[in-house]
Amino acid sequence: MGHDKLRKFAENETFSCLLQPSSEEVLADGFENLRDHPVKGHWFERNEETSGEKTSAAPLILELGCGKGEYTLELARRNPDSNYVGVDIKGARLWKGAKTATLEGLPNVRFLRTRVEFITAFFAPGEVSEIWLTFSDPQPKSENNRLSSPLFLERYRKMLRPGGIVRLKTDSRFLHEYTKAVAEANGLRILACTTDLYAPGAPGIIEPEVREVKTFYESMFLEMGVPITYLAFTIDHEGPYVHPGRKFDAALWRELDSSRRSFGH
């Protein structure tokens, strides 16, 4: 391991905005019975001790797979009345976001280093208002590993408020079409959908920050001419979530996605 990475890991221990629970701690009772972390249901309550304001009642918004946290940070700067938590498993990436939040003194930002599979151990029912999936790995060969699969939607349902929103922003047409098929198969309400977010004719009802806030990879993809897709939907649903089945032609979209990405590169 390089010295720079070791330095970042050491500095991560000093950031009060970064929570780094061990996997052993979460898995103490097994994967099917994740052990709740003390922060569950109590995010941002520390702010109240110093400010005297009820900040824990503010909307709590997650970014899953946040990388260096640039999207989480910019949303937090623009929306000081909302709280944000960026989640990623890579400590060296999270160092950048946590250090920036610390230097800027952003009170409404936290970062969590954990696997997304463990997410229900950290957020209580109804604690989360929105979830952002920004340029997630499309996992073309493993449906249950896609962050918009029925398996993950079930996890999100355990912590999202009624009417809670999932927002997917991706360069992968495969993941976009898959997620749309999942939403339609389960009768979920689609709030916004476009296969080219920055095209002149893209829907105008999309919130300005969806276009104005960009990740590093998003800017890179745009420079290569790769269209960015966007999909927002609520996950209110009774009963188990179902897979899209024949409504989604995985082989077709996998091939088209591969060709499109190769053309972009």
Who contacts 160 (Cβ-Cβ below 8 Å, separation ≥6)? 126, 128, 129, 131, 235
Compute the 3-state secondary structure of the chain and give helix, strand, coil in percent, each to the nearest 5: 40, 20, 40
Q: Report the SS3 class of residue 171.
A: coil
Catalytic residue among 4, 29, 137, 196: 137
- Extract the tokens encoding 70: 């640039």
Report the distance separating Cα 194 and Cα 184, nearest Å. Answer: 15
Question: Given its phi and psi angles, is residue 195 left (phi above 0), alpha (psi -120 to 50 degrees) or beta?
Answer: alpha
Report the distance separating Cα 184 and Cα 244, nearest Å. Answer: 8
Exposed/middle/buried for 80, CB within 10 Å: 0-12, 13-18, 19+?
exposed
137 carries an active-site annotation: yes
Q: Which residues are part of the catalytic machinery? A: 137
